[in-house]
């Protein structure tokens, strides 16, 4: 009898889905890692578990302690749920611009949610800096009472994806992986999976699919951080090189506009039944570009990061989409008439 002893044991080992439409379009075998099936609903459950396990092992997170993190939402949800299952309190700082669905989910998960202005990283009011300062203040009052997850620059994030996500992909494809592509927020998934796949198959191509408004694709292609445009996607893209992203073995990088990525997630839902979020749309666009770069007959893997229900008010709102200049399919207009 297979019984999971706790929530942590249910994180990972997600299925690899064949994406029928994109596979037929490109002539490649295009596969999506169904990370939205993790218990907290996203790939960030892996990140949260990896960071927490590392902190416990090093004695940085003690029984009854407080987890503090700055996040766009999904890592916080993972930390709140795993934290609750292990007896920790969780305090989350996040930009006030993030989806209402994620904010509400965090609160339902028991997190103490502190919303802060959406400002550049150089601003001391940025959610990462505020979270770090709050953790420091708790430890000044009671040494060892709090732990700051620091998902962007704590390389336990990257290491966990290297040891788990990448190994699952390799095993599920029987080692037949020609390319891997995804977006980067912290950079942990792309760097960790990229490193592990390159170690096993040096010829595998690793690609970054970057939302408009992020500086990472320009950095890979031109060597400088320059952001152009904007995107409605949440939790991906960056204006800086994090410790997790630094040194990632990236062969190709593209900047993807919303007008290209969002219709792909609408089509995936309508034609194949998978409801995924905005970052998955960027990943799907990257998978198509990588498949066309490599040519027919190759196997491409990407990540379906979280569920689209977490962004219903944006991604599936015809009025919002039109305001952003994003095509609205007829069926969505019929489902949500103005």
The first and second tokens of residue 110, run together, are 């028991």
* Residue 252 bridge partners (DSSP): 207
With CA atoms as reference, report the closest residue to 26 among 267, 295, 231: 295
Q: Is position 44 annotated as part of the catalytic site?
A: yes
The first and second tokens of residue 154, run together, are 């704590």
| Residue given tokens 């997600």 in the structure block | 14
SS3 22: helix
Which residue of the set 44, 198, 205, 314 is catalytic? 44
Longest C-alpha distance within the chain, in Å? 60
**CA–CA gap between residue 138 and residue 315 (Å, rounded):** 38
The first and second tokens of residue 297, run together, are 């007959």
Cα angle value 198/199/204 (rounded, 5°)? 25
The first and second tokens of residue 156, run together, are 């336990």
The first and second tokens of residue 256, run together, are 């993807």
| CA 130 to each of CA 34, 76, 125, 126: distance values in angstroms, whole numbers, following the listed order | 32, 15, 6, 6
Positions marked active-site: 44
């Amino acid at each position: 009898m297979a019984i999971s002893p706790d929530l942590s044991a249910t994180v990972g080992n997600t299925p690899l889905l064949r994406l029928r439409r994109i596979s037929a379009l490109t002539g490649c075998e295009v596969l999506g890692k169904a990370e939205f099936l993790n218990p907290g609903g996203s790939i960030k459950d892996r990140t949260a578990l990896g960071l927490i396990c590392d902190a416990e092992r090093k004695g940085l997170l003690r029984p009854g302690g407080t987890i503090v993190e700055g996040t766009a939402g999904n890592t916080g949800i993972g930390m709140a749920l795993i934290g609750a299952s292990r007896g920790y309190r969780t305090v989350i700082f996040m930009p006030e611009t993030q989806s209402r669905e994620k904010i509400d989910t965090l609160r339902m998960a028991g997190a103490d949610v502190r919303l802060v202005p959406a400002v550049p990283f150089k601003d001391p009011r940025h959610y990462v800096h505020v979270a770090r300062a709050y953790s420091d203040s708790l430890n000044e009052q009671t040494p060892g009472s709090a732990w700051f997850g620091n998902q962007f620059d704590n390389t336990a994030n990257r290491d966990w994806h290297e040891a788990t996500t990448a190994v699952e992909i390799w095993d599920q494809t029987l080692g037949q992986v020609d390319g891997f592509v995804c977006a980067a927020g912290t950079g942990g998934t792309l760097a960790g999976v990229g490193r592990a796949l390159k170690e096993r198959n040096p010829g595998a191509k690793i690609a970054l699919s970057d939302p408009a408004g992020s500086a990472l694709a320009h950095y890979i292609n031109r060597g400088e951080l320059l952001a152009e445009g904007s995107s409605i996607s949440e939790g991906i893209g960056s204006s800086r090189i994090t410790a997790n992203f630094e040194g990632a073995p990236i062969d190709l990088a593209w900047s993807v506009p919303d007008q290209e990525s969002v219709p792909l997630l609408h089509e995936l839902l309508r034609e194949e039944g998978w409801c995924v979020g905005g970052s998955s749309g960027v990943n799907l666009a990257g998978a198509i570009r990588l498949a066309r770069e490599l040519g027919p007959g190759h196997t491409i893997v990407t990540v379906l990061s979280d569920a689209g229900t977490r962004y219903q008010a944006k991604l599936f709102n015809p009025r919002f989409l039109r305001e952003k200049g994003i095509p609205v399919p007829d069926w969505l207009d019929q489902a949500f008439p103005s």
